[in-house]
Amino acid sequence: MSIKEMIREHPQVGADFNEQLAEAVKHAMYCAAICNSCADACSAEEMDMRRCIRLCSDCSDICTATYRVATRRTSGDVKVIEAMLRTCITACEACADECGKHDNDHCRRCAKMCRECADDCRKALESMLEHA
């Protein structure tokens, strides 16, 4: 089952399906899981990873909130979705910057996913503004 198909099949979406928003939702789901896993892996590192753990945890929570709000299409408030996308971009960029400072596989993977998620959220935001 695909989250994109689920959104497309919503009775109030129909011809208003936004491919960029659906892609952002999908990547926010993945990013939430990867950031959560990275925070846990950071807690097992020998060095002080408190800042990375905090940013990964915040990013995971924000990505989760973003994908949850953006998948609810009944009587949706576009301004709220746009605000969530902006917040998700900010959190992903901060997490990617911090994880990018660390030389371990889990942080490299997390930074990459955060950058992809931020890019997809930007594209979704642009497409929403174009259709407004």
Tens of pLDDT, residue by residue over 18-77, are 788 889 999 999 999 999 999 999 999 999 999 999 999 999 999 999 999 988 877 778
Could you tell me the CA-to-CA distances from 51 to 59, 89, 96, 124 in Å, in that order?
A: 12, 18, 12, 29
Q: What is the pTM of this model?
A: 0.91
Beta-carbon-side half-sphere exposure of residue 124 (alpha carbons within 13 Å): 33
Q: Please report the pLDDT score of residue 36 as a whole number.
A: 98
Domain 18-131: which topology?
Answer: Substrate Binding Domain Of Dnak; Chain:A; Domain 2 (1.20.1270)
User: Which sequence spans correspond to the domains of the chain?
Assistant: 18-131
Rounded-to-integer distance, Cα 111 and Cα 92, Å: 8
Asked if 18 and 123 touch (Cβ cutoff 8 Å), the reply is no
3-state secondary structure of 34: helix
Q: Which residue blocks in the chain are alpha helix, DSSP H?
A: 3-8, 19-43, 50-71, 78-99, 105-131
- Please choose, from the candidates 112, 119, 78, the residue with its C-alpha nearest in 3D space to the C-alpha of residue 95: 112
Q: Say what the alpha-carbon torsion angle 73, 79, 81, 87 is, to the nearest 10 degrees.
A: -170
